[in-house]
Amino acid sequence: MARTYEVRTFGCQMNVHDSERLTGLLEEAGYVAAPANAQADVVVFNTCAVRENADNKLYGNLGHLAPVKARTPGMQIAVGGCLAQKDRGEITRKAPWVDVVFGTHNIGSLPALLERARVNDEAQVEILESLEVFPSTLPTRRESAYAAWVSVSVGCNNTCTFCIVPALRGKEKDRRPGDVLAEVRALVAEGVSEVTLLGQNVNAYGVEFGDRQAFSKLLRACGEVEGLERVRFTSPHPAEFTDDVIVAMAETPNVMPQLHMPLQSGSDRVLKAMRRSYRREKYLGIIDRVRAAIPDAAITTDIIVGFPGETEEDFVQTLQVVAAARFSGAFTFQYSIRPGTPAATLPDQVPADVVQDRYERLVELVNDIAWEENKSLVGTTVELMVAEGEGRKDAATHRLSGRGPDNRLVHFDPTPFGDRAAARDERRVEIRPGDMVTVEITRAAPHHLVADGGVLAVRRTRSGDAWEARTAAPSAPVVGLGMPAVGAPA
């Protein structure tokens, strides 16, 4: 009987994509996904060293699994990712029941390490110091049938004082444009209609082969891929965000009007201490130029509160930038010490109660602005890509969810617009994840929009077909009564 596996992922989008590769490797090696609520024979932790309490989360999870493993003959536990790269042999010292520890540069070794640990009956720790093979060459089991991550680079050449990623992911390594586009075309052939180009510093793409406009060229090239409806990217660095990228975004129809660009702080003094090689004026200038070229762009960001030495004046400057930029959303973080980063030893660590107060004030402002921006969309019509697994908590209302071109989340009533009763005798059209629906926004909240007026149109897509084919035992589909399909499958 085939051994079963479970992959538990912590951290950023890069880790999510790495977990898709780990899943692909395990399935190629003959493992099968463990059924829901069943204990897997192999549990893999893909860890993060950036998020708060990353160590505690890992060792807490490992502690819960220790008695399970003790009573389950043959069970194995593997730990990979950034925390594994950082802690190395410390993991098996603290948790000697762990069988395999592998780093960010050798995820492809996992099946062999599991087998070696089983045969030798001893833990295997393998951490490479640099990348030998670009991970996109590895088999991948993607989470979604209709949307996909595509790595254009790994690693980072920046030296932000709060960040440990360059030490764990290494210097930036870029894929050749032809390799990226070949993967995009292959994904589209499989039914994918949305790709997100992924890199630690995605707009620095091309630095390794000496083309400063490589990223804007890549965006334009993605625009020529037939069948690719939506292109996104994350995350760019403001210091290297150039006007050719803005022009490419504006002129390439399938590049979505969305930008996630980390701010971190609105204070020039704090940005300098963070070693962020831009200042507030440059950042706001980029925002202005993006909005001039793409008026309907939704811009989101990352902000850290309470960086060492941050004063009330520094914090107020951050609030000022937030008010000027009018972000549609922000990931806000309270600074906490990360061992191994330069900021960990900086003087003037901000007291926890002060950090908490500033954090609450920032979140309040961010939410107020996001809500105002969302309210301005009430009454507009938007085409959504129907999502799987998002926003179904309000099951009593029978809403589905989807993402607009600007990546805003919209919960929508899947029944047809108009008189439901009159439509009941008309043709029923299934609405599947990956299909496109047109709705009118009826209500706004700080973090999502609502379309309760029903669906104006449904466009069945190859992505929806791919989702249907991939779903081994599909549940009863949600249908829109009397809604004609718009056009042939894309």
Tell me the residue type at 159.
Answer: T
| CA-based radius of gyration for the chain | 24
222 is in an annotated binding site: no
Distance CA 179, CA 378 (A): 42
Phi, psi of 416 (to 5 degrees): -70, 155
Distance CA 116, CA 138 (A): 20
Taking the CA atoms of 196, 197, 200 and 204 in sequence, report the sign of the dihedral they define: negative
48 is in an annotated binding site: yes
Distance CA 429, CA 436 (A): 12
Reference 51, options 334, 258, 294; nearest CA is 334
Instruction: Count the alpha carbons within 13 Å of 155 in the hemisphere toward its beta carbon.
Output: 18
Tokens of 375: 């309210």
Give me the helix-helix angle, 214-222 and 177-189, nearest 10°. Answer: 20
How many helices, marked H, and strands, marked E, lie in the chain?
Answer: 15, 23
156 is in an annotated binding site: yes
Distance CA 173, CA 153 (A): 5
Taking the CA atoms of 93, 95, 99 and 100 in sequence, report the sign of the dihedral they define: negative
Q: How many residues does this entry show for the chain?
A: 490
Specify binding-site residues: 12, 48, 82, 156, 160, 163
Binding site membership for [4Fe-4S] cluster: which residues? 12, 48, 82, 156, 160, 163
